[in-house]
Chain A
């Protein structure tokens, strides 16, 4: 039996395939066995048959080509986990909600099919906060995900299953979605790499919408390089998503192979991100990370993002407003399920009351908030105002990126907190997203890369942001950091 944690990169796996130490089918079987044994709660659905079929295809390819056909199939035989708000034809897509407990999607998300075409193996669907709403993965209708190394703690959310599964070797890499930090926060808490690409870089077709103007699909992996490869494969215009961007396919992996001329890199340090409230260990790690960049020759530039203080408020109006509309389709009429009681409803309103009672409390809270923020007489003061302030936040970044190439700071003020610790106070939970939200509001590419641990060994993530479409810059800096920085 192979030691799954010995595989650091996709390159390691491909070498193992070529030296016949291990076959794609064996690897897939081992990951499936590990995933099924795990107590993390990371998986919601396993796709054994599909995964083994894909693994056999990979095996045939390697045989036929006398090695791994890396150019055409860069993900040949690589076992992945997919966040359960992305659709796969014939596979359940539950969004961790009772509402979709039995829903089998009739089509595959564009991002997933692009990974499959690149040779990937899809092991199964990963747990999340219900409809991606939450920061701790405690809002799943099917039980929380536990932190991979500290089971009494949360893995972060909403892509908690995606981060935990990579860290715990339950898949080699995974997909998540990021609306306000849902990739970067769990990546930071679990100590893996998580990337949120520029809005529009990866097709959203097949991503069950939470907040359409903020949602973006992105990868998790142990290394920046592998996460970058997944992003490259998924990127590019999709005729099924009008908001996907007409740009050349990314090749950030190539960018990681070039040496960085640090003397030309200006790193922005926003004063608003260091105003206190950071856990001491987090503060220390971020400061030593900044010093590392400086030591390489990069210039640290103090910057100001004056509208940062409004970001959380703006986000929790825009996101919930869009969500209240996006989630209106879940009425139990055409798909999914509805409680038997709704068939005894006395009228249409009663029917909706009963069928939509299947949502969990956080989802209901956000639908109600969003409905309020959009309602006549209030939308001027809330939704429209929030859209105007969002513009200001975008302008902050536009101005900042005239002076700097990257913005660096913490992903979260703290490390992973205890299960149940913040459940009673949704506002406290919302404030946890303060550093990640601005990138979604402005559509920026951003990532979390591990930069140390606290006293209890809990991982800390470094947050890097770049101007829209500057993924190359973002990835090459993060790659160099991951390989050069020692905490």
Chain B
């Protein structure tokens, strides 16, 4: 970023709640785990209420309130005991009633915060409000006509609005990941990013460094990947600075992020912005929440990412970085807990953490899946960690085993036996191979002896090649050095 400017970033996250039924009717809201949205027939999960038929009325799903309270408690928010719903009026074919039922003046939660970790340290990001609302349906555009699918209409959402307190895309990304971890730990959101369970609007502005007056902001709509949010914000900051530096003026507008080109594009300016004509929803009576219920929900909250992270650092001696990566995803954290459990002691927790934050994370990220959707089970990692620790497997060999387990899901022992990957630590077996390699590389042997120490790696590599990667590398180095320098 240009040193003369600083950015101001605020995020609005729409989080789909994982209730079984919709927010104002009995229709199914949640896609069964074994199905994807695309497999559900269009408009099959609808009724006269969520399709907005004349004469129908909303009735609030209590589970939605419970989930919203959980989100509030987990983000250190104040829970308002008196709530009202409001209508947000606008026309769009995917909005059956011509208004969205949401909360406006009296949201359920206010004044919370969430802790984030970035390369510059930790920071509290304020959360202004969390409110409950219904989702709209989906328009599907064909060549010369459009279709409307209302399966998603009336699916419950919470909108979580941060304060305009983030300065970099890194902070924004860290906040999103922390928030994502909270809602998935609570189990109030399925967290499927591809299906839009957790989507983000980013408000970005820039101002001269040290200024207290915010610049004009642009809103980037509906980005549903953490990485894309970061990239969109980076682009937008650079764009706005460029506009100002070339003497222009940033205009208030809504923009969309094009991930293929990595740019943001203007959708509509403020002049074209909608007047939502908010007013109190007369079809729903005020929602009065009992403090005892809030207390009960609080007492039943599960372990949250922050708590889990401290536990991993203090009890298992993990680094803050490893603990952060592990607890950033509920499923990864649970997986890691099970690995440690299978290992039976915390002594090998660190190498186990390396596996989970390293190879495993790489593999699941590559495929864009969650750990439980893969064939890897906690016992696989526990076995690998133990075999490496006992020097039965080299780390190279272990990586190879993991690749095979990833594909087949077979047991580690079965693969090690079948592939013959047991590490060779037998001196008598290795010596003839070393001799052979030295004999056929006389020049390199001479160079090594005259002081070219770097060539040790070359010899280790050659022996590894001969043994199919099975030789114990530490032992090998020692043996080669002894043989050459004698």
Contact = CB atoms under 8 A, between A and B. Distances in A.
Contact of B148 (A95, A206, A333): A333
Which of B52, B54, B55, B148 has the most chain A CB atoms inside 10 A of its CB?
A: B54
A58 interface: no
A206 to B, nearest CB: 5
A376 B52 contact: no
B55 A86 contact: yes
Contact of B277 (A86, A211, A379): A379
B93 to A, nearest CB: 5
A95 B54 contact: yes
A330 B97 CA distance: 8
B72 interface: no
A242 B275 contact: no
B interface secondary structure, majority: loop
A207 B59 CA distance: 15
A207 B57 CA distance: 9
B282 interface: yes
Nearest to B90: A328
B76 interface: no
Interface in A99-122: 100, 103, 105-107, 109
A329 B52 contact: yes
Given A334-B96, A352-B91, A105 B279 contact: no
B277 A240 contact: no
Nearest to B58: A242
A242 B54 contact: no
Contacts of A204: 57
A345 B98 CA distance: 19
Nearest to A384: B279
A371 B278 CA distance: 11
B273 to A, nearest CB: 10
Contacts, number: 106
A328 B98 contact: yes
A208 B53 CA distance: 9
Contact of B89 (A93, A95, A208, A328): A328
A243 interface: yes
A329 B57 contact: no
B36 to A, nearest CB: 25
A327 B54 CA distance: 9
Interface string B49-74: 00111111111100000000000000
A209 B55 contact: yes
Given A325-B89, A374-B89, A376-B275, A243 B98 contact: no
A325 B98 contact: yes
B472 to A, nearest CB: 70
Contacts of A322: 279, 282
Contact of B285 (A103, A107, A242, A327): A242
Contacts of A213: 282
Contact of B283 (A212, A328, A333, A335): A212
Contact of B55 (A208, A333, A334, A352): A208
Nearest to A239: B59
Contacts of A208: 54-55
Contacts of A207: 55
Which of B57, B60, B89, B96 has the most chain A CB atoms inside 10 A of its CB?
A: B57
Given A100-B54, A328-B97, A334-B51, A375 B277 contact: yes
A321 interface: yes
Given A242-B284, A375-B277, A379-B277, A328 B59 contact: no
A103 B48 CA distance: 13
B57 A325 contact: no
Contacts of B51: 334-335
B29 to A, nearest CB: 18
Given A87-B55, A208-B54, A383-B279, 15 more contacts: A105-B54, A106-B53, A107-B48, A107-B55, A109-B55, A207-B55, A242-B57, A243-B285, A328-B89, A328-B99, A331-B91, A334-B52, A335-B54, A348-B92, A375-B275
